[in-house]
């Protein structure tokens, strides 16, 4: 009975984080100084704990209940009916459980990581706002509500990336992250408006039935699907909007943990719910597969050339989200959910480990580290387990997810196996390279004194390490209920029988290469010219930022300069010309003001005479005919 009450009130869970953010304001704005900022942190921790407990009870009760929807009719005008819908189902509450659990651990972790930060209260207030938006997205069944919450998420990401706003590079990163995601959000809004004009409502649960009976022409269906893809493309840091996640690493590491595990997953979560719309046109599905493939391959190559520990992990995030895009494009949303779940936990653990390293060594450059495994055992184990959890290594969760993907439940093209093997092998090389540089080898100047982190950071790391190991059983217990399956033909059996051994081999080969390749320190560069070219190509993200500067940014800058010139010399020139004409004509006419009535009478007579001359001499008709010819 109590569990049913918690389930019925699950709609209130997002408000816990919002209440914590509001209660933090007196400390955030400096109204209360005597106590220091810690009470604001404790208030938000308490609210997050209550939200997690509420979610856990509701999640345990939802399995025995049918899916329930709570509808709030917001606006009804003529044929327009806008409603905000909350869905209580195992999927939505499971996503909420993941958000609450990781957020709780991250907030405990932040107590140690940001202990001496003067704006700790502001950080926890933003994290509460962050949690409210993420929790709302997990429960939302309304595309309109989800869009509003995504906008809240974008604003909060901007504020957290720019948290240390005294640094110019941080301000630039926050601005770029905000503007990049705004590009996708504007296109997503256009898709929402178009979808509202085609369908009866904007609920995710109604999209499947609407898509089955949709009479949309091919062009409209393609444009609708592409516009709806644009928003998650920006949120999930997919090509060509992938650079913001790399720059966002300038923010505090606890926020980076959430961003690389949960925030990017929120965009993919919305994409998964929109999947029925993408079945209307093959253009939409092909676009998802193309974007995911390019991002997965490209960012995997970018990651192996980075020397910033957070940036090498952020590029890996984009690569795995690319696999999610491919799964959605193929209509295999169960696999997409599993990829999100397993990747979020493993990546959060690796970012916790990297944050501990950064705090202890005061450096993010992996070429300045070494020999940390004996000094920071908990951090080392956390990194190893997190890295193994994101690779297809038996018996952890990503392996069983990939095994489910290639189990024969769906018709899988052979190129997909090639992409998955490539990403798995490159990720193994990258993470092994990072592990060798950071934890193995000789001590470096910045790692000679590197004690293990305090309990506030160690406890969440150890807890999430255990959760990562236990999460390996989730793909085995996950019940398929969303994706359509297709019967196999005999020609496809060889692919499925060889997929699992190839996955194991790709991870093993990647780790072996990662252990065998030559590691170079910051002052060392390869002597071979082609290696240096490849290193720069990958390290500078295929020069995408420079391409943007020469194309998009250059076009905007050129057009703005042209508009400034046009406004200054054409628009302002025309206005100034009218003013000058008025001034000169006024100065000329002032000499005709003599005060003599006979002069005014003479002027009137001359004007009337000219008018009669024009009318009776045929000149007037000529003028009228001339203007009529121009009009016609």
User: What is the rounded distance in angstroms from the CA atom of residue 529 to the CA atom of residue 192?
Assistant: 50
Give the number of other Cβ atoms within 10 Å of residue 191's Cβ: 22
CB 247 within 8 A of CB 299: no
Are residues 186 and 60 both part of a single domain?
Answer: no
**Sign (positive or negative) of CA dihedral 556, 562, 568, 570:** negative
Asked whether residue 244 carries a pLDDT value surpassing 90, the answer given is no
Are residues 495 and 395 both part of a single domain?
Answer: yes
Are residues 131 and 178 both part of a single domain?
Answer: no
User: What is the rounded distance in angstroms from the CA atom of residue 260 to the CA atom of residue 240?
Assistant: 18
Residue 480: its pLDDT value, please?
47
Confidence of residue 475 (pLDDT cuts 50, 70, 90): low
Residue 583 lies in a domain: no
Are residues 322 and 405 both part of a single domain?
Answer: yes
Residue 384: its pLDDT value, please?
92
Question: 86 by DSSP, 3-state: which?
Answer: strand
- Over range 161-168, report the average pLDDT: 86
Residue 620: its pLDDT value, please?
55
User: What is the rounded distance in angstroms from the CA atom of residue 238 to the CA atom of residue 615?
Assistant: 73
Q: Which residue has the tokens 């297809």?
A: 392
Domain boundary among 141, 163, 180: 141
Q: Which of 99, 124, 95 has its CA nearest to residue 109? A: 124
Question: 82 by DSSP, 3-state: which?
Answer: strand
Are residues 105 and 124 both part of a single domain?
Answer: yes
Residue 351 lies in a domain: yes
Residues 270-323: tens digit of each pLDDT: 999 888 888 888 899 999 999 999 999 999 998 888 888 888 999 999 999 999
Are residues 400 and 447 both part of a single domain?
Answer: yes
Note down the domain range covering 616. 594-632
Residue 578: its pLDDT value, please?
83
Confidence of residue 16 (pLDDT cuts 50, 70, 90): very high
- The percentage of the chain sitting over the pLDDT mark of 90, rounded to a whole number, equals 19
Are residues 202 and 123 both part of a single domain?
Answer: no
Are residues 352 and 484 both part of a single domain?
Answer: yes
Residue 341 lies in a domain: yes
- Over range 101-111, report the average pLDDT: 92
Domain boundary among 141, 169, 198: 141
Does 457 or 623 have the greater pLDDT score? Answer: 457
Domain count, the chain: 3
**Sign (positive or negative) of CA dihedral 241, 243, 249, 251:** negative
- Over range 412-418, report the average pLDDT: 85
Question: 190 by DSSP, 3-state: which?
Answer: helix
Q: Which residue has the tokens 């049913």?
A: 4
User: What is the rounded distance in angstroms from the CA atom of residue 299 to the CA atom of residue 318?
Assistant: 6
- Strand partners for 203: 142
Residue 49: its pLDDT value, please?
93
CB 125 within 8 A of CB 40: yes
Are residues 475 and 618 both part of a single domain?
Answer: no
Residues 539-581: tens digit of each pLDDT: 777 788 888 888 878 888 889 888 988 888 888 888 888 888 8
132 burial (CB, 10 Å; 0-12 / 13-18 / 19+) is: buried
- Over range 389-404, report the average pLDDT: 82
Domain boundary among 516, 548, 580: 548
Residues 63-92: tens digit of each pLDDT: 877 778 888 877 776 666 777 888 888 888
CB 255 within 8 A of CB 161: yes
Are residues 112 and 170 both part of a single domain?
Answer: no
| Backbone dihedral angles phi then psi of residue 81, each to the nearest 5 degrees | -130, 105
- Over range 163-178, report the average pLDDT: 85
Are residues 62 and 157 both part of a single domain?
Answer: no
**Sign (positive or negative) of CA dihedral 537, 538, 540, 544:** positive
Highest mean pLDDT out of 195-204, 207-216, 614-623: 207-216
Residue 177 lies in a domain: yes
Give the number of other Cβ atoms within 10 Å of residue 419's Cβ: 20
Residue 230 lies in a domain: yes
Q: What share of the chain is helix, strand, coil (3-state, %, to 5)?
A: 75, 5, 20
Residue 124 lies in a domain: yes
Mean pLDDT check: name the lowest of 96-105, 346-355, 396-405, 501-510: 396-405
And the tokens for 587? 């100065």
**Sign (positive or negative) of CA dihedral 588, 593, 599, 602:** positive
Residue 559 lies in a domain: no
What is the rounded average pLDDT for all residues in the chain?
83
Residue 592: its pLDDT value, please?
64
Asked whether residue 263 carries a pLDDT value surpassing 50, the answer given is yes
Residues 328-380: tens digit of each pLDDT: 988 888 888 888 888 999 999 999 999 999 988 888 888 888 888 888 889 99
Residue 615: its pLDDT value, please?
67
And the tokens for 70? 């709570």
Are residues 237 and 113 both part of a single domain?
Answer: no
Residue 497 lies in a domain: yes
Asked whether residue 417 carries a pLDDT value surpassing 60, the answer given is yes
Asked whether residue 488 carries a pLDDT value surpassing 60, the answer given is no
């Amino acid at each position: 009975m109590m569990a049913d009450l918690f389930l019925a009130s699950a709609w209130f869970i997002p408000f816990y984080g919002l209440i914590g953010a509001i209660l933090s304001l007196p400390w955030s704005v400096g109204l209360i100084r005597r106590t220091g900022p810690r009470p604001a942190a404790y208030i938000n921790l308490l609210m997050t704990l209550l939200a997690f407990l509420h979610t856990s009870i509701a999640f345990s009760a939802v399995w025995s209940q049918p899916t329930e929807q709570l509808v709030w009719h917001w606006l009804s005008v003529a044929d327009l009916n806008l409603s905000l819908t909350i869905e209580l189902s195992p999927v939505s509450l499971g996503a909420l459980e993941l958000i609450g659990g990781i957020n709780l651990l991250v907030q405990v972790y932040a107590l140690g990581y940001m202990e001496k930060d003067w704006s700790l209260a502001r950080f926890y207030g933003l994290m509460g706002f962050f949690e409210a938006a993420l929790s709302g997205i997990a429960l939302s069944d309304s595309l309109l509500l989800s869009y509003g919450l995504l906008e809240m998420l974008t604003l909060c990401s901007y504020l957290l990336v720019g948290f240390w706003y005294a640094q110019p590079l941080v301000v630039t990163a926050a601005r770029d992250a905000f503007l990049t995601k705004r590009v996708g959000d504007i296109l997503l809004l256009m898709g929402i408006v178009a979808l509202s004009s085609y369908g009866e409502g904007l609920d995710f649960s109604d999209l499947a039935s609407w898509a089955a009976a949709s009479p949309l022409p091919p062009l409209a269906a393609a444009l609708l699907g592409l516009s709806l893809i644009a928003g998650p493309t920006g949120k999930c840091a997919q090509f060509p909007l992938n650079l913001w996640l790399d720059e966002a690493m300038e923010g505090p590491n606890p926020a980076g943990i959430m961003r690389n595990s949960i925030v990017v997953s929120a965009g993919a979560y919305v994409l998964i719910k929109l999947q029925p719309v993408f079945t209307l046109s093959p253009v939409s599905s092909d676009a998802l597969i193309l974007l995911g493939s390019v991002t997965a391959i490209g960012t995997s190559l970018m990651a192996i050339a980075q020397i910033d520990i957070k940036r090498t992990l952020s590029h890996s995030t984009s690569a795995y989200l690319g696999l999610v895009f491919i799964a959605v494009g193929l209509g295999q949303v169960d696999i997409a959910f599993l990829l999100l779940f397993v990747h979020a936990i493993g990546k959060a653990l690796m970012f916790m480990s990297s944050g501990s390293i950064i705090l202890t060594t005061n450096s993010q450059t992996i070429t300045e580290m070494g020999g940390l495994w004996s000094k920071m055992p908990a951090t080392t184990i956390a990194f190893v387990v997190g890295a193994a959890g994101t690779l297809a290594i038996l018996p952890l969760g990503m392996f069983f997810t990939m095994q489910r993907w290639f189990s024969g439940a769906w018709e899988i093209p052979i190129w997909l196996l090639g992409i998955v093997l490539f990403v798995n092998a490159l990720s193994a090389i990258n993470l092994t390279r990072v592990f060798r540089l950071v934890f193995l080898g000789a001590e470096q100047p910045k790692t000679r004194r590197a004690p293990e982190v305090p309990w506030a950071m160690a406890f969440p790391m150890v807890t999430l390490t255990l959760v990562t190991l236990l999460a390996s059983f989730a793909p085995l217990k996950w019940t398929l209920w969303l994706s359509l399956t297709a019967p196999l033909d005999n020609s496809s059996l060889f692919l499925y029988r060889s997929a699992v051994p190839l996955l194991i081999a790709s991870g093993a080969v990647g780790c072996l290469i990662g252990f065998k390749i030559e590691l170079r320190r910051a002052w060392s560069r390869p002597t071979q010219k082609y290696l240096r070219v490849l290193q720069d190509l990958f390290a500078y993200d295929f020069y995408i930022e420079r391409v943007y500067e020469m194309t998009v940014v250059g076009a905007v800058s050129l057009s703005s300069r042209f508009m400034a010139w046009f406004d200054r010399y054409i628009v302002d020139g025309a206005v100034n010309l009218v003013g000058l004409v008025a001034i000169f004509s006024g100065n000329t006419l002032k000499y005709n003001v003599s005060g003599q009535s006979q002069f005014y009478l003479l002027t009137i007579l001359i004007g009337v005479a000219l008018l009669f001359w024009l009318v009776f001499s045929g000149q007037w008709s000529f003028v009228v005919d001339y203007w009529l010819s121009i009009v016609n």
